[in-house]
Homo-oligomer: A and B are copies of this chain.
Amino acid sequence: MSRVAPPRGFASDEFEARLEKAQARMRREGLTSLLLTREAEVRYFSGFTTPFWQSPTRPWFLLVPLRGKPIAVIPEIGVAAMRRGWVDDIRSWPAPRPEDDGLSLLVETLRETGAERGRVGVPMGPETQLRMPLADYYRLEAALPTTEFVDATGLIRALRLLKSDAEIARIAHVCALAGEAFAAVPRLAATGQPLAEVFRAFRIDLLRRRVDDVPYLVGGAGPGGYADVISPPGDRALGAGDVLMMDTGAVYDGYFCDFDRNYAVERADAAAHRAYATLYRATDAGFAAARPGARCADVFHAMRTVIEDAGYDVGDVGRMGHGLGMQLTEWPSLTATDRTVLAPGMVLTLEPGLSLGACCGMVHEENLVIREDGAEWLTCRAPDELPVLA
C-alpha cells in the first residue's frame, strides 16, 4: 500500500475562506457574532484538534465576530493545543471552576464584539447540540439582557454542507484506507469466529493501514441477514449461511468515512443474493440521481423505487443516506421530505436498506461527492454480487 496521505492540518486560506463565507452571511442575517460550543464547529473555524472532547467536564467557546478572526475562550489546559491552530486571540480561565466556568470571560468577550446591542447566533436547530451546561446558558442570557440570541443552524449548515477540495481529499483518503481493509476481510473472518473477534481484527487492520482512529464500528451477522445495525458485536460465532455486515466510521485528520460491506459466510441462499443485488441496483439509482440541482428527496425516491419495485420494504432506519465529513453523519438527510438541493462539494452516503421479514434485513452503504457534472464515488464500490467468505 503506497497510498500518499494528504498533509495534516489546513493552510490559512482554508480557514480564511470559511470565515469570509460565515461573515458574509452574518452580515446578511444581521448577526454580531456566532457562539460555538461543539467540537465540529469549534474545529471548523479554528483547527483545534484534540480527543479531549471526550471529557465532558469543561466547556469550550469559540466566538466568530462580524469582523476579524475567531476568538477562543477556553480552559487553560487547552491553550497550547489551540495555539497549534489558526486562532490568535486565545483567552483562558483555570477550569473546572463550577461557580464561573468561563462565563464571565465569555460575557466580557461577547460585550467586546458588540453583543449588547446585537444578535448572537447559536446553533439551536436539527442536528445541533449546545455543549455547555444549560444552566450556564441561562446565566449567559441573563448577563446579556439586551442581546438577542438567535438560531444560527442555517448559517452553519450552509457552510458545512459544501466541502472544500482539501476536506474532500481527507474523506477520500480515509474511504480508500477503509476500502482496503474491507477487501482484506476474507483473510480475517471465518466460520466459528466470534463476531467480536472479527470486529477487533478489523479495527486493528484499519489502524495498521494508518487511519487515525475508528470511533464507529457496528454491524451484525445472522442467517440470511441481521436485525440490529447499531450495536457493538456480541460473542456469537459466525455460522455458515450467515450474512455478516460491518459498518465503519474511521477517521483521518478529523474527517470520517462511513460505509459498510456485506459478506456471506461459506454460502448464501438465493434470497440473500437477491436482496444484495437489489441494494446494489438501488445504489446505482441513487448515484445516478445525485446530480447538482436534484433534491435529497429525489435521491431517496430513486433508491426506494428500486427496492419497492423488487417487492421489499425499506426498513426502519429512517433515511437512506446523509451528509458526511467532520462528523459521522451531517446534514442533509436522504429522506422523502428533505428538499435540500444538491450542489458540487457535497459529500453524501447512499445507504439503501430493506427488510427481509420481521426478523432481519440488509443494508448497503457507499460514499460519494457531488461534482459539477454528477456524482463521483469516494469509496471503491462493493462487489456487484454478495461476496462469499470461503
Contact = CB atoms under 8 A, between A and B. Distances in A.
Interface string A127-168: 111111111011000000000000101000000000000000
Interface string A91-110: 00011111101000000000
Nearest to A212: B232
A231 to B, nearest CB: 5
A167 B128 CA distance: 31
A209 to B, nearest CB: 10
A135 B127 contact: no
A83 B207 CA distance: 32
A380 interface: no
B215 A215 contact: yes
A78 B76 CA distance: 38
A24 interface: no
A316 B212 contact: no
A58 B316 CA distance: 14
Contacts of A203: 207, 213
A102 to B, nearest CB: 11
Contact of A134 (B124, B212, B216, B330): B124
A214 B322 CA distance: 26
A170 to B, nearest CB: 14
A245 to B, nearest CB: 13
A57 B231 contact: no
Given A128-B134, A129-B133, A204 B212 contact: no
Contacts of A227: 80
A319 B76 CA distance: 11
A316 B50 contact: no
A311 interface: no
Interface string A195-224: 000001001100110101111111000000
Contacts of A337: 97, 99
Which of A51, A81, A128, A218: most chain B Cβ within 10 A?
A: A51
Contacts of A229: 77, 80
Contacts of A249: 54
A113 interface: no
Contacts of A130: 129-130, 134
Interface in A46-100: 49-52, 54-58, 75-81, 84, 94-99
B215 A51 contact: yes
A314 to B, nearest CB: 11
A125 interface: yes
Given A77-B316, A129-B134, 16 more contacts: A51-B216, A51-B217, A52-B216, A54-B215, A55-B329, A56-B329, A57-B329, A80-B230, A81-B230, A96-B333, A98-B126, A124-B134, A129-B130, A129-B132, A203-B213, A204-B204
